[in-house]
Amino acid sequence: MTRKKLTKKQEIFSLIGVVLLVLVAVKFLYPKLTSFEGGHTVELGEYGFFPEEITIRKGETVTFRTTRNEPFWPASNSHPVHDLYPEFDPKRALRPGETWSFTFDKVGEWGYHDHLGSYYSTDVGMIRVVDTTSEIETTSYTPHTSEIQNCVEAESKRKCWVNNLKTTMAKDGLKEAFQLAAEYYKVDEEFARNCNDITHYMGGFAYRLFRDDKESVVIPESTYCALGFYHGFLEVWFHNYPKIEEAISFCSHVEGVLGESQPLAIGNCYHGVGHGAYHMYHISDWDNFAKGMEPVCDICEGTGEQIWNCLDGAFNAVNMDYYQSRYEHLEIKENPFRFCEELPKYKLQCYDGLASTLVWGAGGRLE
């Protein structure tokens, strides 16, 4: 049977029909990846959210997606309760390839994070929402630029330091990042005061860069600032991949390489495991604190003679939650150690980890 040849007009209409079918298929098969006028996209990639900061107008929508092959959960600060902007929260983890969109109807600066990350994860960002009549300055975003900013006059020194250290680590390696940290330490007293905390963030970011070659991070420079680097590195590692046997093996390697010059290195390594164990469980029912801490304490029991250092890290993480006012409603200022009394077996380690809570509870003064 011979097919009738199409006229030129029929060929054109057939081609248009095919194009329309493709467009309809794209719309229905990939609805969440399509963009629209006035929309903005933030992507969680290997080095964090990009753009890390954006400015939008009230009523505009931001779509979040990831290129990582793992779930993510973009949500408002503070972590883990999301109380800064409670509606800015998908209320669940998003699968790889899935996206989530949110329309911002409140003017303000809304910090956010990946809820599935640990306390010292650098997967954070900022959505700045202005009113509909405000001018928005156009910013050219270049990820991981090699230019090192002068953070002295920065609006947020901490953010400037962390961003520059991340950029340097990704571009030039861990040793160069520590050299930059050493320079900041020399020229800025504020950096020196916050050095341990900032190296926590360096450790958290380093895990993402060096997770397939963890032993390469064990260098002399990693002991700067009272070994805060290992607190962050082990916290993020153990939070994402809680295999105590591998953590024990890594900490033994740290001791083998650094133990002679830094005898406290192994203890700080296990302190980081305690941080990670605590943040795995995100205790939310503070009225049943002892029950919530049971699996954390079980993990630390698995570290053998290093249990004290592991539990010290875990209770230190509880201490940070108090500092961040995550359970201020419990009114524990009169007895900051009430949690310790619920865990008689681990009371001494709890007292040690929560020591600075007493100072915070007293408003910074002990009289």
**Under DSSP, is residue 110 helix (H, G, I), strand (E, B) or coil?**
strand
Q: What angle do CA 264, 268, 273 make, to 5 degrees?
A: 150
Rounded Cα gap, residues 209 and 231, in angstroms: 16
- Of 61, 57, 25, which Cα lies nearest the Cα of 40? 61
Residue 279 vs residue 304, higher pLDDT: 304
Question: Percent of the chain at pLDDT above 70?
Answer: 74
Residue 142, pLDDT score: 40
- The residue among 35 and 87 whose pLDDT is bigger is 87
pLDDT recorded at residue 303: 92
233 versus 318: which is more confidently predicted? 233
pLDDT value at residue 12: 58
**pLDDT score, position 359:** 53
Q: What is the average per-residue pLDDT within 274-287?
A: 78
Predicted pLDDT at 270: 92
Give tens-digit pLDDT for 60-94: 999 999 888 888 999 998 777 788 899 999 999 89
What was the pLDDT predicted at 299?
92
108: alpha, beta or left? (left if phi > 0; alpha if psi -120 to 50): left
User: pLDDT by residue (tens digit) across 153-212?
Assistant: 667 788 888 888 988 898 889 999 999 998 888 878 888 888 988 999 899 899 888 888
Query: Could you give the maximum distance between any two Cα atoms of the chain, in Å?
Result: 103
Q: What is the pLDDT of residues 243-277, one digit of tens each?
A: 889 999 999 999 999 988 888 899 989 998 998 88
Which pLDDT does position 10 carry in this prediction?
Answer: 58
| pLDDT (0 to 100) of residue 357 | 53
Of 24 and 99, more confident? 99
Residues pairing with 129 in the sheet: 56, 108
pLDDT, position 106: 92
Q: CA torsion, points 310, 332, 80, 203, in degrees to nearest 10?
A: -40
- Quote the pLDDT of residue 35: 32
Quick one: pLDDT at residue 310?
93
The pLDDT score that the predictor gives to residue 302 is 92
**Would you state the pLDDT for residue 217?**
93
pLDDT bin (cut points 50, 70, 90) of residue 17 is low
Report the 10 Å Cβ neighbour count for 219.
14
The class level of CATH for 39-130 reads mainly beta
What mean pLDDT, rounded, does the chain reach? Answer: 78
pLDDT at 342: 86
- The arithmetic mean of pLDDT across residues 285-298, rounded, is 85
Sequence ranges of the domains in the chain: 39-130, 144-193, 197-361
pTM of the model: 0.65
